[in-house]
Chain A
Amino acid sequence: MRYVDEFRNERVAKAYAEAIRRTTTRPWTIMEVCGGQTHTIVKFGIESLLPEAITLIHGPGCPVCVTPLEMIDKAIAIASRKDVLFTSFGDMLRVPGSHTDLLTVKAQGGDIRMVYSPLDAVRLARENPSRQVVFFAVGFETTAPANAMAVFQAKRFGLSNFSILCAHVLVPPAIEAILSSAESRVQGFLSAGHVCTVMGYEEYLPLAETYRIPIVVTGFEPVDILQGVYMIVRQLEEGRWEVENQYRRSVRREGNLPARKLLAEVFEVSHRKWRGIGEIPCSGYRLSTKYAAYDAEQRFDMTGGESEESPLCIAGLVLQGLKKPHECPAFGTHCTPERPLGAPMVSSEGACAAYYHFARGIRTTRQAAGVE
């Protein structure tokens, strides 16, 4: 398979792993921002190839994990309504709200459908004119253009029964929030390649300069990740802090201009609360005034509201890289993938779930890979 197999080549991957080992002279802590990268790291056993001096921290780039609890509760309240056909990407369905989750609402009779594209939700709205079709619009800059297109199309078709529950978040403000925290241990960032495919990487230049931290725009295949780590380690060892682009086959400096134009048309930047982290200024999207009629929060009178997180859950510290998942007292005891207290235990991209499945074997896998 083109553009896949080349980037899963064992010889190339091992060459990068070896180069990282040769270059590394002391411990470095690197955060991969995006959940898709976390997924690759876990799925391909990349940590088993790295020297122990390199610590990877799984950052807040899992949209499932950072969507705030009150947003999940609102989704559940809307999806429970008899007049609503609620649509969502698959992995949001299992995220626990305060009392229940969307899969349970579905089992109790809620009309909840998993879709693969927000445009499917628009189609459902056209096919079901007597029902209110709501799409749960979550994700980073990556999913935002398709979700914007759904709203754009709904307006063009004149659909009055379509709306989105908008929980979009943005990457650069989150990176800044982590860097400006006094406790941050992160020394370099693998930035999310697909976010930058849409937005470009100009936003990252001032961050690298201000916080004197190397940022490498990185792809999602194993060789991408290893090359990204290598580029970060080289900058760290040489005392540089630049924005470099590993993912050149997809990312241009200015990003995807038509997509950005659509985003600017449909959305506007707003403050946004992140699950476990709290409110980060200018870190999300809401619908612009022109498209406000498609806001499910307005339509179903769901604005405001606060939900209490489990006091046991330290998801916020984990998402900021301040604690490792297994340092949480609830990890694997009160909190498991079957009964998650916080979202990072739910998604396959979530740091806690990744650790739950993976960390218990990390020593075994390192030994088996011949790293130790």
Chain B
Amino acid sequence: MGRIDHTQVVTPVRSCAEDSEESPGCPLPVNEYQAVLLAHGGGGRLTQQLVRHLFLSQFQNEHLNRLHDGAVLPVSASRLAFTTDSYVVNPIVFAGGDIGKLAVNGTVNDLAMCGARPCYLSAAFIIEEGLPMDELRRIACSMQDAARHAGVHVVTGDTKVVDRGKGDKLFITTSGIGLIDSGVDIHPSRLRPGDKIILSGPIGQHGIAILSAREGLEFESQIESDTAPLGELVMRMLEACKNVHVLRDPTRGGVATTLNEIAAQAKLGLVIDEERIPVPDEVRGACEILGLDPLYVANEGKLLAGVPTADCALVLDAMRADPQGRDATVIGEVTADHPGMVLMKTRIGGMRVVDLLSGEQLPRIC
């Protein structure tokens, strides 16, 4: 982790949302450079300017402001959750979000899936030479908005600049620390036959939004990524019932892949009901046209939970009181039959295996 060696942070931060499009909302003019140069990663004055004007001014908080080699953090829990994830999404801006918002929410959600209250993030930026400064600034703003929204602080960070062609505009790695309350124990091994499987809302939006942006596909209505922080939702669930057995966010590989992981780790079978899995019409339409299965399409603001039947109503009520869980619904249950396998009752009343894909889902010819 490189250090951020700066001595002062001056200006209070405003929200990007408060600013018009003409002024991207950063309090300081970065400098005369319109684009990131290799020299911005050289460790000298330009690096300092970049870090101070672009990142520090956004992310400032008491831990980051100490500007040490690393952040020194107070902790008031006996157990921590710790996670890391890299974000390489292309394009870096898409309907409903951008790489920065995704990098915050994704790591926040990984912490939440441990039953932890997300607290601190690190952020490492690998920037391709030539990235317009405005674009980077907008993404830093959006990260700070997302962090504020999720109730976390970016407390340490790093920037590197690589030669043009050696990266793809911008890669971000975020790591996160969250605190776990006593009595909370989330793991697939805790699943029991009869447990209910809850899905927090409609699926497939993120994957289709990215695909549409990347491939220039135009649908009648724009599909927006569902990227959102789930920490608050999880806290509400755990307040209602500490006995939640499993939490997972169905990101890459979608609901199907995540359910398979849960079944394999729990050594139990899952049976889900296609009719009860909410798929927005525009996602369904896009999937029908492209020959994709929404069950395998990525989500960035949804979770799957396994809870004992007795607690299910309580947990559902708590979820539905949160904006991210408004459409939460039971989609299936756990069984001792066919361990490791996920079966689905299809829309027409048939049964099929919902298996893992061997690679990325590829659109079909006809």
Contact = CB atoms under 8 A, between A and B. Distances in A.
A143 interface: yes
Interface string A335-372: 01110000000011100000001101100111011000
B74 interface: no
Nearest to A89: B365
Nearest to A36: B366
A273 to B, nearest CB: 19
Interface string B44-55: 000000000000
Contact of B352 (A42, A93, A116): A42
A275 interface: no
Nearest to A339: B358
B350 A91 contact: no
A131 to B, nearest CB: 18
Contacts of A94: 359, 362
A341 to B, nearest CB: 14
Interface string B331-343: 0000001100101
Contacts of A139: 365-366
B235 to A, nearest CB: 36
Contacts, number: 122
Nearest to A47: B350
A92 B365 contact: yes
Interface string B133-171: 000000000000000000000000000000000000000
A60 interface: no
A4 B217 contact: no
A1 B352 contact: no
A361 B353 contact: yes
Contacts of B358: 336-338
B234 to A, nearest CB: 32
B77 interface: no
A13 interface: yes
A105 interface: no
A349 B365 CA distance: 10
Given A44-B352, A223-B348, A142 B366 contact: yes
Contacts of A368: 271, 343, 345, 351
Nearest to A369: B351
Given A1-B285, A338-B358, A357-B355, A365 B366 contact: no
Contacts of A366: 351
Contact of B290 (A10, A63, A116, A349): A116
Interface in B284-334: 284-285, 288, 290, 293
A48 B365 contact: no
A55 interface: no
B364 A360 contact: no
B363 A116 contact: yes
B349 A49 contact: yes
B340 to A, nearest CB: 11
Contacts of A172: none
A8 B350 CA distance: 11
A45 B366 contact: no
Contact of B348 (A9, A35, A114, A364): A9
Nearest to B365: A89
Nearest to B366: A142
A116 B217 contact: yes
Contact of A1 (B284, B343, B346): B284
B322 to A, nearest CB: 29
Nearest to A364: B338
Nearest to B363: A90
Interface string A48-73: 11000000000000011000000000
A360 B348 contact: no
B333 to A, nearest CB: 13
Interface in A192-217: 194
Interface in B183-222: 215, 217
A121 interface: no
B293 A43 contact: yes
A14 B349 CA distance: 7
Contacts of A89: 363-365
A364 B352 CA distance: 9
A111 to B, nearest CB: 14
Contacts of A142: 366
B366 to A, nearest CB: 5
A39 B352 CA distance: 12
B364 A91 contact: yes
17 contacts: A43-B346, A43-B352, A44-B350, A90-B363, A90-B364, A91-B363, A116-B215, A116-B290, A138-B365, A223-B348, A349-B364, A364-B343, A364-B351, A365-B343, A365-B353, A368-B345, A368-B351
Given A4-B288, A368-B345, 17 more contacts: A1-B284, A10-B275, A13-B350, A14-B348, A14-B349, A43-B352, A45-B348, A89-B365, A90-B363, A94-B362, A116-B363, A142-B366, A357-B355, A364-B341, A364-B343, A364-B351, A369-B345
Interface of A: 1, 4, 8-10, 13-14, 35-36, 39, 42-49, 63-64, 89-94, 114, 116, 138-140, 142-143, 194, 222-223, 226, 336-338, 347-349, 357-358, 360-361, 364-366, 368-369
